[in-house]
Amino acid sequence: MNIKEAGKRANLPAKTIRYYEEVGLIRPLRDTNGYRAFRPQDVHKLGFLGRARALGFTIEDCRVLLSLYEDQSRASADVKEIAQRHLTQIAEKIAALKAMQDTLSHLVTCCHGDDRPDCPILADLAPPS
Amino acid sequence: MNIKEAGKRANLPAKTIRYYEEVGLIRPLRDTNGYRAFRPQDVHKLGFLGRARALGFTIEDCRVLLSLYEDQSRASADVKEIAQRHLTQIAEKIAALKAMQDTLSHLVTCCHGDDRPDCPILADLAPPS
DNA sequence: CATAGGGGTTCTAGTCACTGGAAGGTCAAG
DNA sequence: CTTGACCTTCCAGTGACTAGAACCCCTATG
């Protein structure tokens, strides 16, 4: 199976798949013409990677998760720990974004938004001189 | 005033200030020895930029916001529109992160996290084959 | 006067996970 | 035989810094 077909099945762009190979996440075989030859298990891995990336795991997390996935003697605790660390980071990002959102949405409701220059948004951005 | 002192007052690292000059957000004068010479209004601008960046505005947004800030004949509507667009993007990011959070936190609570291989997290990552 | 330290300068390269584009090889259909 | 859709590699760009190297400047002290 060529790269485009593999991408279609795993729902990933060909460019992304080439990148995943470059960073060593997958190792598809090669046809005699140099084309990548994807086996079903390669496509399966790609699907795994796509899902893990969609959940926000980094490439390095994906590398570890994939190796755990393929390790029949893994401990689920190892997987859980990675997921929990990731959850912590997600929570931090959400908190930071919410803080921005709170501040900004307040300022936006305060701003007339007309053709006059007075603007509480700019007033808030200005440092206390 | 040298760069470090300016950074202290605006609460920004010197490296960041040099970067802001490189992309044209500020234009400090130069001493005869080549050192950047920051005037109070430069520090004021840096404070503005620091605050705007802390609210998540992009550098390009900052550029426009700064020019509006310095334009006494601005229309507050222009400022408000930028802020509202940014708010929309923040909301999208929060929604995406929350979706990840929901999925992952559910999976994490389902995972025993012991030394056995069974793991609902990995099971969820695996594509339906 | 030499030197030590704490400033400053520029430049390059690295971060993260792709993404776009150029230049060129391969293959199946008409 | 040509067209067009594939495929390949390699290089550059994204955003907003950040680390580090190599070098210059200034002041204070022994």
- Number of domains observed in the structure of chain A: 2
**Based on the domain organization, do A49 and A81 belong to the same domain?**
no
Instruction: Report the 10 Å Cβ neighbour count for A93.
Output: 17
Give the whole-angstrom CA distance, residue A59 versus residue B38.
42
Q: What is the pLDDT of residues B68-126, one digit of tens each?
A: 999 999 999 999 999 999 999 999 999 999 999 999 999 999 999 999 999 999 999 99
**Based on the domain organization, do A26 and A81 belong to the same domain?**
no
pLDDT of residue B119: 97
**Based on the domain organization, do A59 and A96 belong to the same domain?**
no
Residue B63, CB, strand D, below 7 Å: no
DSSP-assigned letter for residue B25: S
User: Is B122 at the interface with chain A, CB within 8 A?
Assistant: yes
- Whether residues B90 and A97 touch (CB distance < 8 A) is answered with yes
Nucleotides of C under 7 A from a protein CB: 7-10, 16-20, 26-27
- For testing the chain A interface, which of B41, B65, B72, B121 should be mutated: the one with the most A CBs within 10 Å? B121
Determine the average pLDDT of the residues in A14-31.
97
Taking a contact as any Cβ pair under 8 Å apart, which residues of chain B between 41 and 60 contact chain A?
A: 44, 47-48, 50-52, 54-56
**What residues of chain B lie within 8 A of the CB of A73, using their CB?**
117
Give the whole-angstrom CA distance, residue B7 versus residue B23.
17
**Based on the domain organization, do B81 and B116 belong to the same domain?**
yes
CATH number of the domain bearing residue B58: 1.10.1660.10
Relative to beta strand B29-30, strand B36-37 is antiparallel
**Based on the domain organization, do B17 and B46 belong to the same domain?**
yes
Cα atoms in the Cβ-side hemisphere of radius 13 Å centred on A40 = 3
**Based on the domain organization, do B61 and B87 belong to the same domain?**
no
To the nearest whole percent, how much of chain B has pLDDT over 90? 98
Whether the per-residue pLDDT at B129 is higher than 90: the answer is no
| Three-state secondary-structure class, residue A29 | strand
| Three-state secondary-structure class, residue B118 | coil
**Based on the domain organization, do B97 and B113 belong to the same domain?**
yes
Whether the per-residue pLDDT at A39 is higher than 80: the answer is yes
Question: Which domain covers residue B17, as residue numbers?
Answer: 1-74
> Looking at A29-117, which runs of residues are DSSP E strands?
29-30, 36-37
Q: Please, are residues A25 and A67 in contact by the beta-carbon 8 Å criterion?
A: no
Residue with tokens 């046809």: A31
- Whether residues B75 and A114 touch (CB distance < 8 A) is answered with yes
**Based on the domain organization, do B82 and B52 belong to the same domain?**
no
Give the whole-angstrom CA distance, residue A96 versus residue A101.
9
Helix/strand/coil percent split, chain B, to 5? 65, 5, 30
**What residues of chain A lie within 8 A of the CB of B87, using their CB?**
101, 104-105, 108
Nucleotide D12 C1' to residue A42 CA (A): 29
Relative to beta strand B36-37, strand A36-37 is unpaired
**Based on the domain organization, do A55 and A89 belong to the same domain?**
no
* Last residue of one domain, picked from the residues B74, B99, B118: B74
**Based on the domain organization, do A99 and A129 belong to the same domain?**
yes
**Based on the domain organization, do B69 and B79 belong to the same domain?**
no
